[in-house]
Chain A
């Protein structure tokens, strides 16, 4: 059967239906294009984010960094105005680091935010709008609606990014949509990483600069050191040359000195021998004369003989002492370990007749002690000091009482010879150890050289000698000798050359 022809009204109705479908398809197509463009926009956003990341990585200046960051946010989210703020989370205060598009806005140097605000935007981005009084200060800066999210550096909140538009701008600018919050939050978080990188790079650059400075300083120091070394080497060469010359001179002088010393010793021996021989003859012959013809001589004549005999004896002793003193000065020390107790014992044996003559009481308190010294010379010291003590304690029929003692003090041994004699007047204190000083005139026999010899010997041993007047009577002579002194040994060995 043939289908009946549609009526005009049916066709008109069909036509209207078709037109309606076409209209719907126009709207759907438009929506589809919009959806596709929205997807393209999303892609474009991420491409711009990547571009931002690449560009921001190379920035070292904080101002430039925040400016660039803000410009990218504005471009990506197609918004009118924005700001990057430093966030003092402790005090809930934000301060602008960089702003964009705030034309005619009331810029705030510092904005106090509420805890509610802080909590809301700490973890993820939010949209703020002028409906809420919480964000009042931001709206004073012209914001009507804005995306806001915080960025962190090493998990510490550093700041926040705010992008949006004013009420006036809202007629042209795209609506803020919650579907953009995820990408916005991600981008703000990447700001934190890049911000951290900026600081790191700045620190590295500073470090590099510092290292370069140090390197340059080191190079400079090295050059200076080289120069100083060259100068030093030159000086050393010059000094070595001078030293060599000095050494040579010294050697010559030493050699001359040794030669002079030898001559001097020889001269002293010769002199003493040549002087002592006639003196001995004078003494011997004056004694013989007194013995053979003494009974025939009157008192005056006998006295003359006594004077001759006494003078020759004194002269003889003086020469002896002079010789000893010369030897002490010119000769070196023969240093060996010596038992002081034995040494003092030998000295007392040597003085035995003198001790008996004077009925002297010797109290020997010397304890076992071994020291490094010239045995013969040290014996000379004890001899002189004990002789002196006996001599100056024998007045007015007094029995001389001599105490000899030693005591170890650290690295040294302190020796003392104490008498009960006349003591020493304070006025002579400085002259006691001076050569040829006879403090008591001719009252006591002696050359005045004994204590000088002691002083020289002790000094050569590196020690000291002094005396102290006893509280009651007499005086005590002290001297020190090192227990062991290798340096002394070496220097004395040199001197003995």
Chain B
């Protein structure tokens, strides 16, 4: 049996922040029993101080984490330059929590790197039944990473988590493994608790605008041309922005829609899945988070606030239906960085987080760790997909209640 504890705060002193968070999560001095510590931090913290103090307080724990544009905890959302959220996990059987990591993951090697990490996990514990991924949000080809994991554990193994981000500048993002800080890394956490199941949901609420445009030249996830024009130049023209605009400021308004297979439309509550561009090359080619073959039709999308709220409500209804009377042990949550302050004002943001948390909390304080990242890994019809611009909620529930 594994136990989860969470906390978040806006302390600006990094050492104090992690210290306070760990003590608050454990509500006392049991922090030395911690077996796995997952850290989400915004870009302003001193990561090394965070990790060193975490190691001091949790000497036997595996430590993983990544940067993000904001953290979401039971205490609410915080997108300041120094915000911190943690999920601390203890396990009676230490082997049920397995961690693997890699450095220098890129669009080119995402499949191999992910496969290698998955192998490590399986070697350590073949009973792993769900995998959490925290990967670089700028360089990874997420669909290839999913394939890589699936090649070891099978395509139906639930993969959840997200890609790291900075504060929407699309410059760098960081990952943590024990006391090491990586810039182009990825971390997998394998859970092998037979009593634990995951229920997840995803929704974005954007709609395509206009006729769309076709990718005319590409290589894997790198798009060179759209409608036979340099890809980024074309996109900027569509958005009435200068050709040399950095992708960072475009994130909130340049979500690209790609048509989904028909069988997913109802589950997804949308016909399109969204893609974000966070890296542009000097030749005006840009990188998608997934492979984008020639002929792919893309649409500029518009956020529809009403659709977003109603979609999240529907998502939560679906989740509570699936969970039924099972105990929720903890909740992980990955939201797109563009769905924070870039999309909502403070009140709307608090409201939509409330829409997500209330049905699951149901008056109780359930450990909750969320982040605003660049992308989300969520199952759709039992198949793993990488998403952008979504709210993805992952509830860990007790399996035993299912039969009861």
Q: Which A residues contact B (CB, under 8 angstroms)?
A: 15, 19-20, 22-27, 29-30, 33-34, 36-37, 40, 44, 71, 74-75, 78-80, 100-101, 103, 171-174
Contacts and interface: CB of A to CB of B under 8 A. Distances in A.
Nearest to B44: A80
B346 A78 contact: no
Interface in B135-176: 166-167, 169, 171
B211 A15 contact: yes
Contact of A172 (B43, B240, B341): B43
Given A22-B209, A23-B300, A75-B10, A173 B345 contact: no
Contacts of B210: 15, 19, 22
Interface in B7-63: 10-13, 43-44, 46
B240 A27 contact: yes
Given A30-B253, A75-B80, 4 more contacts: A33-B342, A71-B13, A75-B12, A75-B82
Contacts of A79: 81
A37 B341 contact: yes
A494 to B, nearest CB: 90
The secondary structure that dominates the B interface is: loop
Contacts of A33: 341-345
A23 B167 contact: no
B294 to A, nearest CB: 24
Contact of B44 (A20, A171, A173): A173
Nearest to A12: B211
Contacts of B211: 15, 19
A37 B252 CA distance: 14
B167 A172 contact: yes
A103 B169 CA distance: 22
A103 B238 contact: no
Interface string B342-374: 111110000000000000000000000000000
B302 interface: yes
A71 B12 contact: yes
A80 B209 contact: no
Contacts, number: 74
Contacts of A44: 346
B209 A23 contact: yes
Nearest to A75: B12
Nearest to A101: B46
A194 B251 CA distance: 43
A174 B42 CA distance: 14
A78 B81 CA distance: 6
B239 interface: yes
Q: Ordered nearest first, which 4 A-B pairs have the shortest CB separation?
A: A19-B210, A36-B345, A40-B346, A78-B81
A15 B212 CA distance: 12
B253 A27 contact: yes
Contacts of B171: 171-172
A172 B166 contact: yes
A198 B206 CA distance: 54
A24 B344 contact: no
Contacts of A74: 12, 82
A132 B171 CA distance: 28
B215 to A, nearest CB: 19
A390 B90 CA distance: 134
Nearest to B347: A40
Given A33-B344, A75-B10, A103 B80 contact: no
